[in-house]
Chain A
Amino acid sequence: MREGQFRNLSGCAISGIFSKQGNRFSGERIIESIAVMHDRSNGLGGGFAAYGIYPEYKEYYAFHIFYDSKTAKKESEDFLEEHFDIINLSKIPTRKMPEITDEPLIWRYFVKPLPTKLAESQLDEREFVSKCVFKVNTTIKGSYIFSSGKNMGVFKAVGFPEDVGRFYRLEEYEGYCFTAHGRYPTNTPGWWGGAHPFALLDYSVVHNGEISSYDANRRAIEMFGYKCTLQTDTEVITYIIDYLHRKKGLTLNEICSVIAAPFWSTIADKPKNERETLTYLRNAFASQLITGPFSILVGFEGGLMALNDRLKLRSMVVGEKDDMVYIASEEAAIRVIQNDLDKVWSPKGGEGVIVQLEGGLV
């Protein structure tokens, strides 16, 4: 069975590194970090999101696509050519290794919407791109666009995360932010697309947990044009964040107050203005509240957000050293790459940790 045909629950490990100065560093470090938490995954999925890795193409959407067959590739490329100006295309470089098998065709395209097509659609550019991504993923059999942001990319596979990192030669990329995920699914996924991070445009989510609100969230978000094809928590969380941030214009802090909303008892003790805003958000976006255990890292253009569920039912630690911020499921995963930390703490449940580039986008 393929991912999407059943609800796949999983436990996991996550890790993230961010340079507030926008200094680019190699992917080697995130591999080292996630490798420490080997036992939190079971070899059935690993992946990375990397930001700032394509500065030479930063004006273009970078599509990373899995193809099951040459027919699927042909069909998808026809679609892309019809809707986009393709500036560059190539196979994503990989390394042959015994730990990673059954790889699909993995291709990368740098694209820009064709102005005529964009005008015709009457959509803004990002909405146009996301619609095209949904179109390919839901209608072209054997094709799956798993990364579609600018100056960023997702790399994922079935395997242990450290092996996945080496398979994709992640050490050869440099970015200002990396996140990583090691997966422990309770079902066997036979498909690479099901691994994490899950991404849409420049939003990427890695997640550790199993949310109990899944079907409430899924049915609510599908009303707004999203289609949950994978039946994973990460997918629905990504869509919720995209919806609240991009479509509804909520700030990241407001998003935290929606998806990991403070309890009514906490809201009652807040000053009037804040109380009213929090009550408004819980009312207006009731269906976007996420319950059950989760710790998530949300990558986006120029920033990283970490958030725990309202009861903090999953571990998550933050460490800081100079302009570097490290976030991981376990402190050991931070210490292995930076033992000399200025500050280490565990954010409370529902308390979002948001870091952004100090000088704006690089």
Chain B
Amino acid sequence: MAVDYIYPDYEIIRDYDKCITCRVCERQCANEAHEYLPQENKMVCDNAKCVNCHRCVSLCPTRALKIVKSDHTFKENANWSGKSIKEVYKQAGSGGVLLSSMGNPENYPVYFDKILLNASQVTNPSIDPLREPMETRVFLGSKPTKIERDDKGRIIDNLSPNITLSMPIMFSAMSYGSISYNAHESLARAAQELGILYNTGEGGLHEDFYQYGKNTIVQVASGRFGVHKDYLNSGAAIEIKMGQGAKPGIGGHLPGTKIVGDVSKTRMIPEGFDAISPAPHHDIYSIEDLRQLVFSLKEATNYTKPVIVKIAAVHNVSAIASGIARSGADIIAIDGFRGGTGAAPTRIRDNVGIPIELALASVDKRLRDEGIRDNVSIVVGGSIRSSADIVKAVALGADCVYIGTSALLALGCHLCRSCQTGKCNWGIATQREDLVKRLNPNIGYKRLVNLLTAWQHEIKEMMGGMGINSIESLKGNRLMLRGVGLTEKELEILGIKYAGE
């Protein structure tokens, strides 16, 4: 039907004076947006196929290409945006649920951008990280409740299993399947070199990557894909995924087209079958069930691994966190509503969950009020975009952050939000061999190392400015934060003062 034709959002602009018809753009575009017309020796394009991933733009040798936002428009309407209208057409045509990828892009407040940091002036000195030690090492895990000594009075190490990180950053869960082998290899090698951890997501662990076990978090999610005893014992920690910020309340779905070869083997499911993770864990219908799974996993690994419970930031997140902190879990990971995904129903992604800044502030406060903050460490993600976000998150009370999207950007992702198509031109969110090989793990891992090395420097600079020379003195140090453009209620929840106060 004619109404189903929707004019593309983006247009490919080619400067024909510069184009040398080398056809790189054509070869690079898995969406087949570019086409060569041999009779006319001319490149043309189909804007409707373009996802605005910039692959062709980046590789065009003569810089002849750019992508611009289309100025095609509906009649202006303050209520019915073009986006809403088009989505109705799409669904009227298909009868299907709208799918999206990556984090919620809608115009909700970003609280990190309304929080400012402190620095020392006069009454105490700032510290120069180039001249003085500046420490970012963190431990994740529960703290001991009492000191035990041997008969000589020496302190006995009674710490429960902990994770040691060189900086308060980890790569968040992205499964092998949702992202490529080369992307996983880049993350694993970067984690090893940086002294941090990456996370398998719910896709099992490829046998090639067992060697990075000390830097791996193995995830157990509702589908239990790829979970077996060796898998659980191969990592530094185990994460139970209860929820994800991009799609709280629902499970996962990796289409059968991606369940090929090693992905199928690693997930321990037949090739071509859809991998559908149920919305809940069907052995966890309440908090006491979670406790049983926590201890089952601890039993399976002989109490040598800390257990992380990952939840999406939802309305009563602090009460849930309080339950988890008493469940035997060592670490709580909270994923905010901006968190990324390889595929999620658009309505869920864009409308469910709460901002991570508010969730973090309220969980940290709640656990302190109940005197159980030391039972667990708190890891937050969704979305951490820079070192400044990390400093603010730690000052609000986080022990560590998870980064997903930032890591993918380092690997070349251009946030075109089309992961669900499986045709990622950057070799990240795809299993197509010709596309996967575009991501060179030797370069990819180095770029991840570069990014976090740079962020670590910046964290040290900001800490030094505040006169703090070890990250633990920043944790929960909310006096180092001030709000701008926030209401009394927002300030109250964040537990911070207004700028000028």
Kindly state the separation between the CA atoms of A291 and B126 in the bound complex, as whole angstroms: 11
Stretch at the interface among B131-139, B255-263, B291-299, B315-323: B131-139
B480 within 8 Å of A by Cβ? yes
* 8 A Cβ contacts from A240-260 to B: 248-250, 254
CA distance A254 to B149 in the complex (A): 13
**Chain A 294-319 residues near chain B, CB threshold 8 A:** 310-311, 313
Least Cβ distance of B321 to chain A in Å? 15
The reply to whether B124 and A210 form a contact with Cβ atoms under 8 Å apart is: yes
- Mark contacts of B447-480 with chain A using CB atoms, 8 A cut-off: 1 yes-contact digit, 0 otherwise: 0000000000000000000111110111111111
Contact of B470 among A9, A214, A248, A289 (CB under 8 A): A289
Q: Complex formed: what's the CA distance from A291 to B159 in Å?
A: 24
From 158 to 180 in chain A, residues with beta carbon under 8 angstroms from any chain B beta carbon are: none
- What chain B residues lie within 8 Å of A188 (beta carbons)? none
Identify which of B147, B155, B159, B476 contacts A219 (C-beta below 8 A).
B476
Check B253 for interface membership: any CB of A closer than 8 A: no
Given contacts A223-B371, A286-B139, contact A186 B147 (CB under 8 A): no
Our pick among B127, B139, B155, B472 for the contact of A277 (Cβ within 8 Å) is B155
Q: Is B477 a contact of A9 with CB atoms below 8 Å?
A: no
Q: Is the beta-carbon distance between B476 and A291 smaller than 8 angstroms?
A: no
B125 touches A263 (CB 8 A): no
Interface residues of A in 216-269 (CB under 8 A from B): 216-217, 219-220, 222-224, 248-250, 254, 261, 263-265
Determine whether B104 belongs to the interface, using a CB cutoff of 8 Å to chain A: no
**A213 and B146 alpha carbons, distance in the complex (Å):** 24
Which residues in window 151-185 of B have CB below 8 A to A?
154-155, 157, 159, 162
| Nearest Cβ on chain A to B148's Cβ, whole angstroms | 10
> B271: CB under 8 A from chain A?
no
Closest chain B CB from A53 CB (angstroms): 32
- Asked if B127 and A216 sit within 8 Å, CB to CB, the answer is no
Q: Which of A281, A285, A290 makes the CB contact (< 8 A) with B473?
A: A290
Inter-chain contact A216/B472, CB cutoff 8 Å: yes
**A291 and B467 within 8 A (CB):** yes
CB neighbours (8 Å) of A293 from chain B are 124-125, 467
Beta-carbon nearest neighbor of B373 in chain A: A223
Query: Does A263 contact B475, Cβ atoms closer than 8 Å?
Result: no
- Chain A residues with CB below 8 A from B478, complex form: 215, 219
* Interface residue? B206 (CB, 8 A): no
**B120 sits at the interface (CB 8 A):** yes
Among A266-290, those with CB < 8 Å from B are 273, 276-277, 280-287, 289-290
* Cβ contact within 8 Å between A261 and B470: yes
Task: Evaluate contact between B371 and A313: CB separation under 8 angstroms.
Answer: no
In the complex, whether A189 has a CB less than 8 A from a CB of chain B is no
**Residue of B120, B139, B155 touching A212 (CB-CB under 8 A):** B120
B368 within 8 A of A: yes
Q: Write the B105-145 contact mask toward A (1 if CB under 8 angstroms, else 0).
A: 00000000000000010011101000011010101000110
Measured between beta carbons, the chain B residues less than 8 angstroms from A313 are 124-125
Does B374 lie at the interface of the complex (its beta carbon under 8 Å from any beta carbon of A)? yes
Contacts of A291 in B (CB 8 A): 467-470, 473
Chain B nearest Cβ from A275, distance in angstroms = 11
The reply to whether the CB of A11 lies closer than 8 angstroms to some CB of chain B is yes
Instruction: Mark contacts of B413-426 with chain A using CB atoms, 8 A cut-off: 1 yes-contact digit, 0 otherwise.
Output: 00000000000000
Enumerate chain A residues within 8 angstroms of B124, measured Cβ to Cβ.
Answer: 9, 209-212, 292-293, 313
Contact between chains at A310 and B469 (CB < 8 Å):
yes
A264→B477 contact, CB < 8 A: no
Q: Which residues of A contact B480 (CB under 8 A)?
A: 215
Bound: A212/B125 CA distance, A? 9
Q: Cβ of B468 and Cβ of A213 under 8 Å apart?
A: yes
* Interface set, chain A 36-57, CB cutoff 8 A to B: none
Q: How far is the CB of B364 from chain A (nearest CB, A)?
A: 8
B139 vs chain A, min Cβ distance (A): 5
Question: A241 → chain B, closest Cβ, in Å?
Answer: 15
Q: In chain B, what residue has the closest Cβ to A276? A: B157
Q: How far is the CA of A210 from the CA of B144 in the complex (A)?
A: 29
Residues of A within 8 A of B135 (CB): 263-264
On chain B, the residues within 8 Å of A287 by CB distance are 374, 472, 475-476
B475–chain A nearest beta-carbon distance, Å: 6
A70 interface residue, CB < 8 Å from B? no
The answer to whether A289 and B132 have CB atoms under 8 Å apart is: no
Within the complex, the shortest CB–CB distance from B480 to chain A, in Å, comes to: 7
A31, chain B: closest CB distance, angstroms: 27
**C-alpha spacing A249/B156, complex, angstroms:** 13
In the complex, chain B residues whose CB is within 8 Å of the CB of A74: none
Indicate if A7 sits at the interface (CB-CB under 8 A): yes
C-alpha spacing A289/B135, complex, angstroms: 12
Measured in the bound complex, the distance between the Cα atoms of B157 and A281 in whole Å is 10
CA A311 – CA B473 in complex, angstroms? 14
Question: How many angstroms from the CA of A126 to the CA of B159 in the assembled complex?
Answer: 28
Inter-chain contact B475/A292, CB cutoff 8 Å: no
Closest to A309 in B: B469
What are the residues of chain A within 8 A of B144 when measuring CB–CB? Answer: 284
The 4 closest A-B pairs by CB, nearest first: A213-B473, A212-B467, A215-B479, A216-B477
For this complex, 23 residue pairs linking A to B, each with C-beta atoms less than 8 Å apart, are A212-B120, A212-B473, A213-B473, A213-B474, A214-B479, A215-B476, A215-B480, A216-B472, A216-B475, A216-B477, A219-B476, A219-B477, A222-B368, A223-B371, A223-B374, A254-B155, A263-B135, A265-B133, A284-B143, A291-B470, A292-B467, A292-B473, A313-B125
- Known contacts A9-B123, A210-B124, A248-B147; can you find 12 more A-B pairs with CB under 8 A? A9-B124, A211-B124, A212-B120, A215-B476, A220-B373, A223-B371, A248-B146, A261-B470, A264-B135, A287-B472, A291-B469, A292-B467
